Chain A
Amino acid sequence: GAGVSQSPSNKVTEKGKDVELRCDPISGHTALYWYRQSLGQGLEFLIYFQGNSAPDKSGLPSDRFSAERTGGSVSTLTIQRTQQEDSAVYLCASSPRATSGGITDTQYFGPGTRLTVL
């Protein structure tokens, strides 16, 4: 079946511009995560959506970052007034709703969006 898709695959922008990154999760998955990964670094958690619950925004690095998820499916990550340090690969992942035992919380990652801020 179709996996997680992200667009665009690459984005080059100028410092100070706003960018929007899109994620289409696997159909039926209620949980959606955004991460970013800088060169040679691990995954940095940004934001988590679960169904209709309020998102967990605890990983957003500044108020220039925001995300929304419409209709419990597609999500958009927006970065305003981009800075050079925002350059990274932005990864989206989705997972089925976790059971009480956490058995079904495997994350499936999209291909990522490589953002370059000049």
Chain B
Amino acid sequence: QKEVEQNSGPLSVPEGAIASLNCTYSDRVSQSFFWYRQYSGKSPELIMSIYSNGDKEDGRFTAQLNKASQYVSLLIRDSQPSDSATYLCAVRASGGSYIPTFGRGTSLIVHP
């Protein structure tokens, strides 16, 4: 059973702070990792994808992948109230299955 674990939160941070969201996964052969943002009542939208160990930066967002420790994280710098949403981690293994496994998501609240 492939599992993707996230702390459900809510994670509450003040505006301007760094928000750190973490995700662990059980399948060692996982190859593709995604972070989606989902506003309440809306569908998920892709924030970041990462495939190699290390950091990947895109604007205020940084994804960090450590395959040896089986975790992937998302850092949001200079957090804004508009970042308040649920963040879903998704993991896909290599090989024939193109079906990613999603975590339950972490609720982030950025307060002014």
Contacts and interface: CB of A to CB of B under 8 A. Distances in A.
Contacts of B44: 43, 91, 109
A41 B104 CA distance: 6
Nearest to B94: A102
Interface string B75-110: 000000000000010101010011111111100000
B99 A56 contact: yes
Interface string B9-40: 00000000000000000000001101010000
Contacts of B51: 101-103
A68 B32 CA distance: 27
A25 interface: no
A107 B46 contact: yes
A87 B105 CA distance: 20
A7 to B, nearest CB: 14
B34 A106 contact: yes
Interface residues of B, number: 24
- Residue in B32, B94, B99 whose Cβ sees the most chain A Cβ within 10 Å: B99
B43 A42 contact: no
A105 B33 CA distance: 10
Interface string A73-115: 0000000000000000001000100100111011111111000
Interface of B: 31-32, 34, 36, 42-46, 49, 51, 88, 90, 92, 94, 97-105
Interface of A: 31, 33, 35, 41-43, 45, 48, 50, 56, 59, 91, 95, 98, 101-103, 105-112
15 contacts: A42-B88, A42-B102, A42-B103, A45-B99, A50-B98, A56-B97, A59-B99, A102-B32, A103-B51, A105-B100, A106-B34, A107-B90, A107-B100, A109-B45, A111-B43
Given A48-B99, A105-B98, A107-B34, 13 more contacts: A33-B99, A35-B102, A42-B104, A42-B105, A43-B88, A48-B98, A98-B98, A101-B51, A102-B32, A102-B94, A106-B46, A109-B43, A112-B43
